[in-house]
A = this chain, B = another copy of it.
Amino acid sequence: MSVTAAKGFDAAAVAAGLKSSGALDLALVVNRGPLQNAAVVFTSNRAQANPIIWSRQVIADGTVSAIVLNSGGANCFTGPQGFQVTHATAEAVGEALGVSAGDVLVCSTGLIGDQLPLDKMLAGVTAAGASLGPHGEQASLAIMTTDSKPKRSVREGEGYTIGGMAKGAGMLAPGLATMLVVITTDAVISSADLDSALRNATRVSFDRLDSDGCMSTNDQVSLLASGASGAEPELDAFTSLLTQVCGDLAEQLQGDAEGASHDIRIEVVNALTEDDAVEVGRSVARNNLFKAAVFGNDPNWGRVLAAIGTTDAAFDPYDVDVSMNGVRVCHAGAPDRPRSDVDLSPRRVDLRIDLRAGAATATILTNDLTHDYVHENSAYSS
């Protein structure tokens, strides 16, 4: 059900002709109220797509009536003409629904640097506006690009529901938000509380997913609340449930990352600060040599230490323990159990780095570097 699991939301998905395959490529999600509260987090990339520039204005007042999303083109670095396409799309949604264009978020995903065809966007919006209903599942299909499957998650709170959808398989290294994610809830909750909950949830979920080190220009996570359940949850409880939904979606993104054959969970423990733990984990997540070794089922822990040695985190490189899938292969910066004891054949890889410097912990999710990653990304736009 994804974005239509919570009461007060309708969705539609159509094939607007943006994808040459003729697949679904435009989704519309509408908040029927009674509330129209919302919060959004955006990519921290300074290179921002036109829909990001537009949506930043829309969310300024914390009110959102609808969100329209397209695959088949990122509408990024397309100049003033590209911004006009985004603007006209929001106007068309406003007209179709009888709401202000200034309350319509826009998201786009696909190739950077190509114009989106305005006529197809407008016809798609009209068709979507005419077919709204409990179509969250179809909406999650329409936002896919190189994704092999849709990503959806629903959790039930006390008298309310949180549901969401996500897309993303490459350029997967969020700075603040990541990829395209829409989450809806029927809880009664203010825009300010939504913002607080969303920032807390994304900080420990999407922000800790770093599949390929490449940050997108179009990342956006939108959270819309209808209040239709009448339930008024405590902020802590709501944040906790929202974090579960975000974490579930982040793991689905990791599991479907372009070309990946391993899902690597990097747990950094006993760091002096949480920031240190994140920095250390991310340095490993971005190390091509380590990631290629995992692809080859090679427990090459020396590459882990070479990677973390490039960080500014507080630890002694010669007093670090490294375990892979439960086998401690490095103790105090020297060889411990033999590499041959580590079995890296399962898709899931647990890498544990004990910095022995404090009590803070963070977990970063990444993938291996494979032939299929190179293949998919050397042929994407051609």
Contact = CB atoms under 8 A, between A and B. Distances in A.
Interface of A: 45-48, 74, 76-79, 81-82, 111-115, 170-171, 175, 212-217, 286-289, 292-293, 295-296, 298, 300-303, 305-311, 317-318, 329-330, 332-335, 339, 369-371, 373-375, 377-382
Nearest to A288: B212
B380 A77 contact: no
A317 B113 contact: no
Contacts of A335: 77-79, 113-115
A174 to B, nearest CB: 11
A306 B382 contact: no
A306 B374 contact: no
A162 B214 CA distance: 41
Q: Which of A301, A311, A374, A380 has the most CB of B within 10 A?
A: A374
29 contacts: A45-B309, A45-B310, A46-B309, A46-B311, A47-B306, A47-B317, A77-B305, A77-B318, A77-B335, A79-B332, A79-B333, A112-B303, A113-B305, A115-B335, A213-B287, A213-B288, A214-B303, A215-B310, A217-B309, A286-B286, A292-B377, A292-B378, A296-B378, A296-B382, A300-B380, A339-B381, A371-B371, A371-B374, A374-B374
A307 B77 contact: no
Copies in the complex: 2
A370 B46 CA distance: 28
A289 B79 contact: no
Nearest to A368: B378
Contacts of A74: 302
Given A113-B305, A114-B335, 9 more contacts: A45-B310, A47-B309, A113-B335, A216-B306, A217-B305, A296-B382, A298-B378, A371-B371, A371-B374
A371 B259 CA distance: 12
Contacts of A287: 213-214
A76 B302 contact: yes
Given A74-B302, A288-B213, A334-B79, A293 B378 contact: yes
